[in-house]
Amino acid sequence: MANHKSSLKRIRQNEAKRLRNRYAHKTARTALKSLRTEENKAVAVEQLPRVISLLDKLAKKNIIHKNKAANLKSKLTKHVNSLA
């Protein structure tokens, strides 16, 4: 266990950030899943910008890699366009 005051504070800050990042990542995964399972094109087209925005925010905060965000956005857009 750390002894310095600053390292104890750093541990507390890291834990808070970890939980915040975990919540954001889980929220995005849930949104991705709901978009992937959506079969109605009108609803999917409406959801797509929100999901893309979520992915961009995660990439900006380095919660996910920017290339992963780009790949997910591309796949989701292809999926939505392929719906009848």
Kindly give, in sequence order, each residue whose CB lies less than 8 Å from that of residue 52, ignoring residues fewer than 6 positions away: 73, 76
pLDDT per position in the chain (84 positions), as tens? Answer: 788 999 999 999 999 999 999 999 999 999 999 999 999 999 999 999 999 999 999 999 999 999 999 999 999 999 999 997
* pTM of the shown model: 0.84
Cβ-contact 32, 13 below 8 angstroms:
no
